[in-house]
């Protein structure tokens, strides 16, 4: 027994000798620290004696001396470890370190890394989410870009529609093009004086080309429309009517793969000697590769194997084949130039070209997109592309950062960040995320959203809480970027689990089948459609529908919400998140209370901006309250402002700052100008938010004046039918020197 005890003591001593001390340190002095504290999680936890690795709640850090630096020492074996800091005790509070000081785990998730030898190690102090110590290029110091170009899409709010589920015009239970045309006035009737439309100015249509599947993401003919939805003539009539109301229309373009029933693939699989064989990827033997989420990607047909990253019914194209690539580019030209759509939402774009075992965001994919850009811009210089790059922000940015690939990409991390912050009643982590995201992208060039057809609907995600829904909507509709609203989100539609549940028919009223169809719907409606529907929500001025409509109207009315840069603000209450949108000596402040109780007596500050120093008038747009004046200092910042504002539970307040008291509650004379249809084949109608006399001058692309007239009403018609096809610039000006220029395409 004594010998056994001696052996155990020696083994224990050797084990302890193999351990080293590792001290984590993070500076939280510029963060709002979560009530649940600061933690660190990673691959070190199990060896350090904690229950499991990557547990965000078990290793808490402490700030014993109150200097804002949180520390914790653990004993670990020499090895390489990955880790990240967490401002909370759940993954909603995880930091987002950049690639400069972190390693990509292969899924777009970046983690910090440390390699330990046989010596104790105290890590350098870093600022939460940054690579350096606060004040040394890290921290929450935010220096906005204040000079940049905007595009037409920065003025728009888009609405995503699944045609099959929107409105059925003929009683067959399936939504169609004519049904969408009938409901256009619900989306935007083209008249700014009415209040029964949402006011959206863009539509994204989910796939509407022929397909054997209900969803349409496996296309069998890239130059036609789905027969269930109507004819090409029906679609073009819808497009014309949308344009007549000033609504742009982009369509889903599935470039990565076709249907296995597409004639190209049928020829490819049936005839190995066919030129179409190389339009897809074939191998004689099974390469036995798995895909990014562990799925089978090589599919057997007749003893040969073809590549399909999603499933066997969606074989991937081979973009290394020049004929195949040229055909896909020509198809894009067809839809933009011949049919007249305004651009594309491009599905699954990060999987376009594979390079060995690397199947996402390869250089080959970037090369194809760089070739594709002059194609669609050549068809229409204003054509818009929005990419689905479903991964973390650092990888997404690569698709838009040089403006040589896509125009926009959906910002998934932001959507998750907003929902986590609202659900957890805590904005601290979202604050840092907003700073990072707005510095990572070219100014304003990202697509913002809360959910889409692939993700559980927001109302259920937020616990069917109306106040949470309204707060989430307020956040993304006051942030920079181009917002996309999923159909039915404005009436709190439910949907989770299988994809069909997320794509149920629209709930229009309390009648049978929610007013969606007079027949039998292709898929059952939500059971709550009798109370959650457009008719009910429009009748209730406090409903979510009216909340969305007001936010959309503010975006149209106030240029800072469309074109203004992002500037974070300091708040004396860490449950209130504040930021400004600034554009040409005007600012819109978005002030959000995340708490489950009301708040008041809160002061705000802001760093240096390009606002002209002086007195600004403040007006609470939410409640119609005059807040008096505040001072903008010599650096364009705000030292301390304590307005008479009271926040309700999870309430967002929108405040306008302007140099003139008359401009705080109403848009400037030429701020809201609508021209439609655009593109046009003949007449254009100008709708103006002013009764002032205006001069209208039109210049061609060479800068030559081709039209000059004076208008004295809020609506005016200008005949362009005699003009040559091309780009024109409509210049409007009034007697006060205010002006606005808009581009019009004659086709």
Cβ–Cβ under 8 Å, residues 600 and 645: yes
User: pLDDT tens for residues 381-438?
Assistant: 999 999 999 998 889 999 999 889 999 999 999 999 999 999 999 998 888 889 889 9
Return the higher-pLDDT residue of 361 and 139.
Answer: 361
Three-state DSSP class for 60? strand
Cβ–Cβ under 8 Å, residues 215 and 313: no
CA 269 to CA 282: how far, in whole Å? 9
Distance of alpha carbon 475 from the chain centroid = 12
- In this prediction, residue 382 carries a pLDDT of 94
Q: Catalytic residues, which ones?
A: 347, 388
Which H or E run contains 270?
helix 263-270
User: Which DSSP string do the residues of 184-235 spell out, in sequence order?
Assistant: HHHH--S-TT-SSS----EEEEPP-S--SSSS--S-S-TTS--GGG--HHHH
CA 402 to CA 419: how far, in whole Å? 29
User: pLDDT tens for residues 96-126?
Assistant: 887 667 776 655 567 888 878 888 999 989 9
* Cβ-Cβ contacts under 8 Å for 5 (sequence gap 6 or more): none
CA 692 to CA 711: how far, in whole Å? 9
Residue 138, strand partner residues: 134
Three-state DSSP class for 132? coil
- In this prediction, residue 137 carries a pLDDT of 44
CA 231 to CA 234: how far, in whole Å? 5
Query: Band of the pLDDT at 734, cuts 50, 70, 90?
Result: low
CA 505 to CA 162: how far, in whole Å? 9
Backbone torsions φ then ψ of 338, nearest 5 degrees? -90, -45
pLDDT tops 50 at residue 251: yes
How big is the chain by its Cα radius of gyration, in Å? 28
Identify the residue whose tokens are 């978005």.
590
Average pLDDT for the chain: 90
pLDDT tops 50 at residue 320: yes
* Max CA distance (Å), the chain: 108
User: pLDDT tens for residues 548-589?
Assistant: 999 999 999 899 999 999 999 999 999 999 999 999 999 999
- In this prediction, residue 140 carries a pLDDT of 45
pLDDT tops 90 at residue 18: no
Taking phi first (over 0 means left), then psi (-120 to 50 degrees means alpha), and beta for anything else, what does residue 453 get?
A: alpha
CA 259 to CA 263: how far, in whole Å? 9
Return the higher-pLDDT residue of 667 and 481.
Answer: 481
* Cβ-Cβ contacts under 8 Å for 98 (sequence gap 6 or more): 110, 130, 131, 394, 436
């Amino acid at each position: 027994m004594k010998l056994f005890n001696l052996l155990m003591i020696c083994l224990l001593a050797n084990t302890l000798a193999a351990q080293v001390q590792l001290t984590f340190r993070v500076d939280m002095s510029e963060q709002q620290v979560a009530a649940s504290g600061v933690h660190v999680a990673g691959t070190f936890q199990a060896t350090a004696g904690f229950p499991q690795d990557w547990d965000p709640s078990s290793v808490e850090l402490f700030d014993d001396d109150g200097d804002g630096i949180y520390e914790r020492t653990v004993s670990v074996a020499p090895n390489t470890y990955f880790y990240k800091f967490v401002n909370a005790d759940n993954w909603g509070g995880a930091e987002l370190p950049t690639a400069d000081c972190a390693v990509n785990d292969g899924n777009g998730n970046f983690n910090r890394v440390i390699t330990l030898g046989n010596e104790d190690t105290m890590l350098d102090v870093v600022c939460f989410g940054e690579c350096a110590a606060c004040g040394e290029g890290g921290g929450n110091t935010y220096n906005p870009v204040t000079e940049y170009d905007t595009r037409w899409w920065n003025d728009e709010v888009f609405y995503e529609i699944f045609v099959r589920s929107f409105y059925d015009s003929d009683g067959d239970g399936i939504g169609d093009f004519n049904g969408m045309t009938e409901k256009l006035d619900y989306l935007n009737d083209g008249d700014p004086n009415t209040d029964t439309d949402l006011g959206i100015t863009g539509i994204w249509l989910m796939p509407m080309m022929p397909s054997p599947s209900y969803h349409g993401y496996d296309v069998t003919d890239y130059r036609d429309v789905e027969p269930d939805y109507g004819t090409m003539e029906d679609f073009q009539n819808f497009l014309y009517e949308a344009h007549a109301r000033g609504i742009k229309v982009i369509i889903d373009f599935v470039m990565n793969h076709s249907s296995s029933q597409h004639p190209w693939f049928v020829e490819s699989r049936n005839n190995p000697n066919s030129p179409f064989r190389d339009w897809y990827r074939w191998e004689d033997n099974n390469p036995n590769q798995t895909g990014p989420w562990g799925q089978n990607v090589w599919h057997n047909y007749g003893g040969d194997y073809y590549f399909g990253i999603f499933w066997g019914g969606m074989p991937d194209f081979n973009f290394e084949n020049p004929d195949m690539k040229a055909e896909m580019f020509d198809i894009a030209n067809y839809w933009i130039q011949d049919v007249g759509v305004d651009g594309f939402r491009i599905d699954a774009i990060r999987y376009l070209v594979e390079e060995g075992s690397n199947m996402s965001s390869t250089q080959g994919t970037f090369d194809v997109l760089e070739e594709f850009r002059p194609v669609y811009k050549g068809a229409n210089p204003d054509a818009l592309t929005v990419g689905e790059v479903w991964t973390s922000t650092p990888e997404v940015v690569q698709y838009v950062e040089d403006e040589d690939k896509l125009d926009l990409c959906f910002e998934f991390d932001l959507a998750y960040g907003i929902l986590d912050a609202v659900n957890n009643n805590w904005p601290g982590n979202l604050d840092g995320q907003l700073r990072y995201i707005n510095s990572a992208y070219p100014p304003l060039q990202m697509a913002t959203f809360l959910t889409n057809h692939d993700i559980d609907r927001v109302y259920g995600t937020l616990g069917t809480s109306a106040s949470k829904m309204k707060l989430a909507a307020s956040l993304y509709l006051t942030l920079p970027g181009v917002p996309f609203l999923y159909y039915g989100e404005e009436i709190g539609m439910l949907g989770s689990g299988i994809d069909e549940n997320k794509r149920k028919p629209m709930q229009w009223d309390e009648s049978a089948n929610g007013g969606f169809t007079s027949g039998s719907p292709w898929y059952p409606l939500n059971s709550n459609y009798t109370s959650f529907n457009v008719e009910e929500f429009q009748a209730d001025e406090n409903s979510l529908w009216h909340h969305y409509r007001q936010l959309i109207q503010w975006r149209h009315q106030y240029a800072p919400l469309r074109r203004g840069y992002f500037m974070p603000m300091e708040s004396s209450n860490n449950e209130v998140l504040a930021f400004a949108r600034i554009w040409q000596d005007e600012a819109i402040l978005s002030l959000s209370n995340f708490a489950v109780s009301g708040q008041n007596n809160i002061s705000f500050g802001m760093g240096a901006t390009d606002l002209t120093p002086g007195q600004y008038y403040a007006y609470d747009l939410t409640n119609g309250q005059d807040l008096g004046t505040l001072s903008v200092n010599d650096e364009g910042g705000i030292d301390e402002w304590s307005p008479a504002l009271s926040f309700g539970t999870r309430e967002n307040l929108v405040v306008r700052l302007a140099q003139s008291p008359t401009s705080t509650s109403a848009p400037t004379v030429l701020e809201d100008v609508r021209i439609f249809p655009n593109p046009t084949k003949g007449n254009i109608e100008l709708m103006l938010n002013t009764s002032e006399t205006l001069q209208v001058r039109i210049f061609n692309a060479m800068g030559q004046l081709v039209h000059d007239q004076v208008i004295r009403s809020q609506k005016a018609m200008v005949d362009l039918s005699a003009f040559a096809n091309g780009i024109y610039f409509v210049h409007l000006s009034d007697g006060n020197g205010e002006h606005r220029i808009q581009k019009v395409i004659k086709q």
